Every structure is written in structure tokens, then in C-alpha cells.
Amino acid sequence: MNPELRNLIALQDLELKSAELQKQLSDIPLQIQNLNEELARLTSAHEERVAAAKELANRRRTLEGQVDMLWAKLARLKDQLMTVKNNKEYTAMLNEIQTTEGLIREEEDKVLEMMEEMEARDRDLASAEAEMRTQSAALQEVIRTTGDSVPGLEQQLARLEEERESVAALIDSELLARYRQIAGARKGVALAEARDELCSCCHVRIRPQMYADLLRTDDIFYCDSCSRILFSREGQ
Ligand SMILES: [Zn+2]
């Protein structure tokens, strides 16, 4: 294989790796931001659950206060019952006592239901909190390792850059310019392997004469279809 082509292949390899690393590095701030947002969502979802449990406890206290007031009213009515003067008043008073007793039963049933709901909620809340803590810790760990990976990636990138410069220095400047032009137009991939008489990038058939010359000579050939520089690992 033409040694210039060998160097170009090495160059493209280094440049693709370097582009990948650059992308990886530039994605990191957004990744960390997304992870932090997820962390905040976990925390606020749990805060909402805690607030809902508090709200239920408040409603229960209010209801219990109402029941206490009804019991006090009942005691008052029973006292008054002793002081009524005629049958009509007595019947009216008894009716009111019955109504109040009925109300007390209803309200106490509601309190019981609420207590059951609160117990179930407390159990859910405890397991939800444990899960939230586990998930948060895992997220924080990912955030930490993602942030910590930056210096290592930057060092790798610097090493690749040095290597890239030394390889580029070996390549004929005209060929390098052509390479750059094609790479710029083809998402960084300026070289295409010719295999089984096809361009492996655009999959278009290479003319038989060109394919034969490519295998036989050190000349530089370009794909008729995608204009990439062709190389072959067969022959020679
Ligand atoms: Zn092609």
C-alpha cells in the first residue's frame, strides 16, 4: 500500500477518535444537568408525598375536633333533658340527642377510615423514602463519576492531538488538503476501503480497470460516486 495512504488511514483513525472524544466531552455538562434535574424531581416527588401525608393528618385532627364538639353537645343535651318541663319538649330533646348520636357515629367512622388510610400511607411513605434515597445516591454517584471523567478525557484528547499532528506532518500537503476537503464534506470520513470491487462507504461498484489499478499500483484513486480516497487491504 502507498505509504501516504497508510498515513492518511492513521490520520483519519486519530481524527475520528478525537471527534468522538470531543463529542463525549461536550455532552458532559448537559448530561450532568439532566442528572441533576432527575435528582431534583426525585426529591420533590417525595416532598409532595410527605406534604400529602401531613395534609391527611391535619384533616384527621380537624375531624377529631368536630367529634369532640359533638360529644360535648351530647352531654349538654343530656343535662338539659333533666330540666324539661313537658312531654313535647322532652320528645324534641330526645330527637336532638338521637340525631347528635347518629352524627357522632358517622364522624367516628370517618376518623377510623382516615386512620386506616394513614397507616397504609405511612407504610408506602417509608418504602418510597428508602427507594428515593437509594436512587438519589446512585444518581449522585453517576454525577460524580461523570464529572471526574473530564480531566482523563481531556488528557486523552491532548495525546490524540499530538499524535494527529505528527502523522499529518508526514503527509504531502496537497494530498492532505484534498483529504481535508473531502473529510469536511463527508462528516470526517475521507477514506473508503475498496472491497470486493465496491466502495465500502457508498457501496457503489468501482470500475474494473480502476479496481485493478488500485490493487496493482501506488497511485491515489477516488471513488467516482462519493469522491472519497480509496484504499485496499487486498493485493500488494
Ligand atoms: Zn464511494
* Domain shared by 166 and 76, yes or no: yes
Q: Which residues surround ligand 1, an ion (CB under 5 A)?
A: 199, 201-202, 223, 225-226
Residue 78 maps to which CATH number? 1.10.287.1490
Mean pLDDT by 10 residues, the chain (236 residues): 91 95 97 97 95 93 96 95 90 95 96 93 92 96 97 97 96 95 94 95 96 92 96 77
> Does 236 reside within a domain?
no
* Domain shared by 41 and 61, yes or no: yes
* Domain shared by 35 and 141, yes or no: yes
> How many Å lie between the centroid of ligand 1 and the Cα of residue 230?
8
* Domain shared by 133 and 203, yes or no: no
Q: DSSP letters of 93-159?
A: HHHHHHHHHHHHHHHHHHHHHHHHHHHHHHHHHHHHHHHHHHHHHHHHHHHHHHHHHHHHHHHHHHH
What local confidence, expressed as pLDDT, does residue 235 receive?
59
* Domain shared by 161 and 190, yes or no: no
* Domain shared by 101 and 134, yes or no: yes
> How many Å lie between the centroid of ligand 1 and the Cα of residue 229?
8
* Domain shared by 143 and 185, yes or no: no
Domain count, the chain: 2
* Domain coverage including residue 224: 174-231
* Domain shared by 70 and 180, yes or no: no
* Domain shared by 30 and 77, yes or no: yes
State the burial class of residue 110 (Cβ atoms within 10 Å of its Cβ: 0-12, 13-18, 19+): middle
